[in-house]
Amino acid sequence: MSSNILPRVLKTLFCNVFVRSLTWQCYRLRPSVRPSSAEQREPPWSAASCPSRATSSGVTWATRAPRSRCRFWDLRWTPSTRCSFPITRDSVRVRPPSGYSHWKGQVLTADELHVLYEGIKLNNVHQYDYVLTGYTRDTSFLEMVVDIVQELKRANPNLVYVCDPVLGDHGSMYVPQNLYPVYKNKVVPVADIITPNQFEAELLTGKNISTQKDAVEVMDLLHAMGPDTVVITSSDLPPRLGDRFLVSLGSQRHVRPDGSRTTQRVRIEVPKVDAVFVGTGDLFAAMLLAWTHHYPNDLKTACEKTFSVMHHVIQRTISYAHELAGPGRRPSPPQLELRMVQSKADIEDPAIVTEATVIS
């Protein structure tokens, strides 16, 4: 099996740019397609085999396909349709993203998800290794995701489910409140990796974060709920590097050969940017999936790679946006759309600009 999970994640992300004109021609269920000659060529940095255990908001499925490729079914919130890889699906279909003055779309229902999944099973392309979920506004959809993940894990106990538990930020929820108990009691317990912000981590555990010690305790509580890897993507903790930085923390449990457990915890400070972007959460989750695949037992390196990718993409985006806006003008949402294609090299092999610190 192929381990080129990163270019496959990249292809899914880049298709978000290339198919904007096809927004209302959303891809339906379709069988696996033969990769092109370009897709069959492995990148020079790719390893030799696709892991049986690797990780990845909606839903992304990545299959343990025959040696040539891994497949994704993407159901995350997105400003446009994503390409079939071979199967992708958005849980919320909108055009354009919510940063614009006007936007419209529909929410994918649990029944529609069930029909799609049944079709996948009929085509016998449901041997998945990765599932990624994020933004959704429907409880029945989330519950259907849980049922599907549990079924997939029965078929493949090594499947890894990555959940971005999108609930809210800055002290308030921006999804219906009835999603909270579903996330807490059903979704998080079956997840292997979760990426909450501070508000979401506090909400899920019922414990406030005021100090680094509090954050460690919250991550331990989240571990106890099920996930082996927890990354708090942003927090209000005071940065040691100054007010222009933001503190993130991560924790990863490992099982030793003798059955005992060890935990690696990291802290990372990233530069703040005075702008609002759409899609950074999706990019972060995808990059964490890719880099925890390449470094499954080294959360420090995986986080450094992930946050460095974010830095490069955001800096390229903000520079381009200011150039378009002109001197003294604040960039508009269209000008702040992430420069994904232009950042391909940085995504594949990012220069490390944010270093993580191992904490106790």
Collect all residues with Cβ–Cβ distance below 8 Å to 333 and sequence separation of at least 6: 97, 99, 100, 276, 278
Name which of 184, 161, 311 is nearest 248 in CA terms: 311
Length of the chain: 360
Element (H, E) at 266: strand 261-271
String of DSSP letters for 13-74: HHHHHHTGGGTTS--------PPPHHHHSPPTT--S---SS-----EEEEE--STT---EEE
Backbone angles phi, psi at 254, to 5 degrees: -125, 150
Q: Which two tokens stand for residue 96?
A: 């354009």
Name which of 163, 218, 210, 153 is nearest 187 in CA terms: 163
Q: Which two tokens stand for residue 154?
A: 């029965």
- Burial tier of 241 (Cβ tally within 10 Å: 0-12, 13-18, 19+): exposed
Q: Are 23 and 81 in contact (CB under 8 A)?
A: yes
Q: Are 71 and 62 in contact (CB under 8 A)?
A: yes
Q: Which two tokens stand for residue 18?
A: 């290339």
Q: Which two tokens stand for residue 60?
A: 């992304």
Q: Which two tokens stand for residue 240?
A: 């040691």
String of DSSP letters for 124-165: T---EEEEEE-----HHHHHHHHHHHHHHHHH-TT-EEEE--
111 labelled catalytic: no
Element (H, E) at 212: helix 212-225
**Phi/psi class of residue 79: alpha, beta or left (left: φ > 0; alpha: ψ in -120 to 50)?**
alpha
Q: Which of 236, 282, 346, 349 is catalytic?
A: 282
Which residues carry out catalysis?
A: 282
